Amino acid sequence: MPKFLIDVNLPRYLAVWDTMDYIHQADINDEWKDSKIWEYAKANNLTIITKDSDFADLILFREPPPKVIHIRFGNMKMRDFFTAIQLHWEDVLLLNQNHKLITLFKDRIEAIN
């Protein structure tokens, strides 16, 4: 059963996401608006992984579920994106256990309870 919902604005295939714990929005409905994604993640107790700041803003004023992992790398080559994700992903997963919002930058991770 999936634990994470990858937003449509992120790559569908990534080595660290290649397990049954992850589902990509394109596998459900890639035309859903943010509110529908939020409700689906909430109903299924999923953490949303996204580059969309709207989800990070929503979770600041609500209690999980869902939780949010907000990736804020800016523009970069796909190869550099993959490298950055792989470098920090284990730490992100650990923080996700006890925090409602994880923000991942190229050089640091921030977490909010």
**Dihedral over Cα of 50, 75, 104, 53: its sign:** negative
SS3 24: strand
Report how many domains make up the chain: 1
Q: Report pLDDT digits (tens) over 48-90.
A: 999 999 999 999 999 999 999 999 998 889 999 999 999 999 9
Question: Whole-prediction pTM value?
Answer: 0.96
Crossing angle of helices 34-43 and 53-60, in 10° steps, is: 50
Averaged pLDDT, 3-23: 94
23: containing domain: 4-112
Residues 6+ apart with CB under 8 A from 46: 2, 3, 4, 5, 23, 40, 65, 66
Q: Determine the average pLDDT of the residues in 91-106.
A: 97
